[in-house]
Each structure stands twice: as structure tokens, then as C-alpha cells.
């Protein structure tokens, strides 16, 4: 009897080819599009967006070519509560969240897995570029063969149970190989561009989005230097993030960068580029994959953002599921609310949310 796999299909080339590969491997494949967004004209029709009508049509056409069932499943309430509301709350608190990581944790590998199991599925699958393997008594998460497309940074929160019930066939291929497979089997999405990073903000203007949809007052406040001297007026802390230089709306005759955001005083602190380089941070809400709990100092490489290169660091365990991360070299713009992810060569050790920059 064939094992049943429910795959999340976005209408993009990665999830489309993943569905094909799984069918070729002998699985019974069911395609599901997760309806995440509210009916919002600002992104509902955004071509390439994960919840647009065009994306749903693309996914349905792929399912027809592959001859697999395809359904659209409603996750809007869970997505709003867990992802959008959290996104707004974090920016209002002067932090910079990563909604893709939150979505993976709370929606794609929690709610989606739960609904797939209710359909009798043995596994869920996605088009992520990462690899899941069983090593002795644990499942491990490994970097994809295509290092440029590797997405393990956004997947560190996966539990052993989730890893044991998830398939990621794209991890064994490069992006060009995936596109070539799509073209070879007649999928029109082979030429489709990759979707933008934040699916519900197609123009990437997070400040404008929060102002329009949060229902909260976004108050202007003061730009200050590290001594507290007022330098000018900002339009609201939700428009800024650590390390930002462009779009500040202030001219001081020298390059300045956002070095801190204080929600209590509604101030944005500006400084020179040297002020945004730090070596230590505290991370919370940890999840480890290679072991259950960090019991002693550990040497790793660590990434403080998706696009960063892993850097040598030492993990020092703290109480309350927290860890101190000490980098060998200074890192640019360590940002509260972002994730720090730990690696041992090509294996994901684990990760957490940056709570404090020291």
C-alpha cells in the first residue's frame, strides 16, 4: 500500500517539482494550497504571491498535469493570529520579526501537519531546499545541496516528530535542476520567478502595512544619539530596523545608522557604522535538533539572518531555555526579534529568537 503524502503547493516551481518527485518515488500525493491571507486587495491579486488567485490557478494546473488531487484549505484565522498579529506586535515593541520562521513553526509544520494527519496522511511535504535524514535515534536537518538556495535557517524550529513526518525532496537538487525538471515534464511554472520574502506585504513596506492594518496609532518620535541628544523626528518606530541607513528621512551631513529602538521612549537611536557591530547576544525560545537540551558550552557556526554566512561562535547555556551566543568576530546589525541559527558543518544544531544584544 502506497504511503500518502500531502504536499503544500504554492503555485511555484519548487513545490510543483517536489510533488512530481514524490509521485515518481511511489507516494500517493495530494496537493493542498494553504489559504493564508485575508481577502485583501493589496496582495490578493499580487502575481506570484502565495495566496493570489493566479497562484491557486498555477497550482491547480500543475496538479492536473501530474494527475494528483488538489484542494485549497483555509488557514486564514491561524495565520492572522500566529503570524500577522505577532508581526505587528513585534514591530510595535521595537523588534524586527521574521514572519516566515513563525509561519513555518506555527502553520506549515504544526497546523498543516495536523490537518494532513486528519486526512490519513503519513507525511507532509514542502518545496523547501533542505534535507531530512535519520541518524541513529534522531532525525537531523541538513543543508541543501544547493547552498545558494539552502533554507534551513527558516526551519530550525522543527521538532523530532515533525521531522519524522516531513519530506523535502528539493534538498537534493539545485535550483537550475528543479527548473529543468519542470520544463522537461511540461510545467509552465518552470519560468516563474521566486516569490517575495513576506507573502502578505508584496511591496515590502512593513511600516505602511502596519499603519494601515494594525488599527493602532503609529506615533512619531525623536531620533537621538547614544547620549540622548535629539537629532530630529522619526515617523514611527515600526518603520525602522537595526542597521538601517536608507529611508531615515534625516540628513546630518554624515552617514548614520539605526543602532537601537526604544519602544518605551518612542526613540530611534542613531550612530556611526561602528556602533552596529557587536559580538554577543542572548537568545530565547530555543529549539535544538541534534539533542534535547544544551548542557555545556558548545562551539558552532551561527547565522543572525537568512542571508548571512555562518560565523564561528560559542554557545553558553542559560536558565529558562535561553543561551548566550559569543561570536569570535563582531557581527553587523544583530537585531532583536530575528532568529539566530546554529550549525555544525552542514547540520542544523538548533536556533532561537534574539532577545537581547550585549
Write out the binding residues for ATP. 8-15, 34, 127
Is 199 a residue of the active site?
yes
Of 50, 51, 103, 170, the catalytic one is 103
Is 50 a residue of the active site?
no
Residues present in the chain in total = 358
* Crossing angle of the two packed helices 206-213 and 85-92, in degrees rounded to 10: 110
Of 50, 100, 170, 199, the catalytic one is 199
- Separation CA 328–CA 154 (nearest Å): 23
As annotated, the binding site includes: 8-15, 34, 127
- The 3-state secondary structure of the chain, one letter per residue: CCCEEEEECCCCHHHHHHHHHHHHCCCEEEEEEEECCCCCCCCCCCCCCCCCHHHHHHHHHHHHHHCCCEEEEECHHHHHHHHHHHHHHHHHCCCCCCHHHHHHHHHHHHHHHHHHHHCCCCEEECCCCEEEEEECCEEEEEECCCCCCCCHHHHCCCCHHHHHCEECHHHHCCHHHHHHHHHHCCCHHHHCCCCCCCCCCCCCCHHHHHHHHCCCCCCCEEEECCCCCEEEEECCHHHCCCCCCCCCCCCCCCCCEEEEEECCCCEEEEECHHHHEEEEEEEEEEEECCCCCCCCCEEEEEECCCCCCCEEEEEEEECCCEEEEEEEEEEECCCCCCEEEEEECCEEEEEEEEEEEC
So which residues are the catalytic ones?
Answer: 103, 199
Amino acid at each position: 500500500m502506497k504511503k500518502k503524502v500531502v504536499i503544500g503547493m504554492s503555485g511555484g516551481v519548487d513545490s510543483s517539482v517536489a510533488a512530481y518527485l514524490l509521485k515518481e518515488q511511489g507516494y500517493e500525493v495530494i496537493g493542498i494550497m494553504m489559504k493564508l491571507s485575508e481577502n485583501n486587495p493589496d496582495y490578493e491579486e499580487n502575481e506570484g504571491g502565495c495566496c493570489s488567485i493566479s497562484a491557486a490557478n498555477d497550482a491547480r494546473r500543475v496538479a492536473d498535469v501530474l494527475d494528483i488531487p488538489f484542494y485549497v484549505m483555509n488557514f486564514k484565522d491561524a495565520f492572522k493570529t500566529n503570524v500577522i498579529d505577532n508581526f505587528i506586535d513585534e514591530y510595535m515593541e521595537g523588534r524586527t520579526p521574521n514572519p516566515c520562521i513563525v509561519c513555518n513553526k506555527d502553520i506549515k509544520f504544526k497546523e498543516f501537519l495536523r490537518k494532513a494527519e486528519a486526512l490519513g496522511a503519513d507525511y507532509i511535504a514542502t518545496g523547501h531546499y533542505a534535507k531530512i535524514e535519520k541518524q541513529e535515534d534522531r532525525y537531523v536537518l541538513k543543508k541543501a545541496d544547493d547552498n545558494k538556495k539552502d533554507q534551513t535557517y527558516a526551519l530550525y524550529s522543527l521538532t523530532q516528530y515533525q521531522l519524522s513526518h516531513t519530506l523535502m525532496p528539493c534538498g537534493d537538487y539545485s535550483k537550475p535542476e528543479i527548473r529543468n525538471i519542470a520544463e522537461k515534464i511540461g510545467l509552465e511554472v518552470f519560468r516563474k520567478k521566486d516569490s517575495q520574502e513576506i507573502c502578505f506585504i508584496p511591496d515590502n513596506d512593513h511600516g505602511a502595512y502596519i499603519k494601515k492594518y494594525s488599527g493602532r496609532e503609529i506615533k512619531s518620535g525623536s531620533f537621538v544619539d547614544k547620549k540622548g541628544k535629539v537629532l530630529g523626528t522619526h515617523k514611527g518606530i515600526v518603520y525602522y530596523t537595526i542597521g538601517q541607513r536608507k529611508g531615515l528621512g534625516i540628513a546630518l551631513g554624515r552617514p548614520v545608522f539605526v543602532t537601537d529602538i526604544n519602544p518605551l521612549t518612542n526613540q530611534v537611536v542613531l550612530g556611526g557604522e561602528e556602533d552596529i557591530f557587536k559580538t554577543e547576544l542572548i537568545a530565547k525560545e530555543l529549539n535544538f535538533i541534534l539533542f534535547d537540551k544544551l548542557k555545556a558550552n558548545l562551539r558552532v557556526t551561527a547565522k543572525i539572518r537568512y542571508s548571512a554566512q555562518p560565523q564561528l561562535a560559542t554557545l553558553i547555556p542559560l536558565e529558562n531555555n535561553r543561551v548566550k551566543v559569543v561570536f569570535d568576530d563582531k557581527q553587523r546589525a544583530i537585531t532583536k526579534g530575528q532568529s539566530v541559527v546554529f550549525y555544525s558543518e552542514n547540520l542544523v544544531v538548533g536556533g532561537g529568537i534574539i532577545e537581547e544584544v550585549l
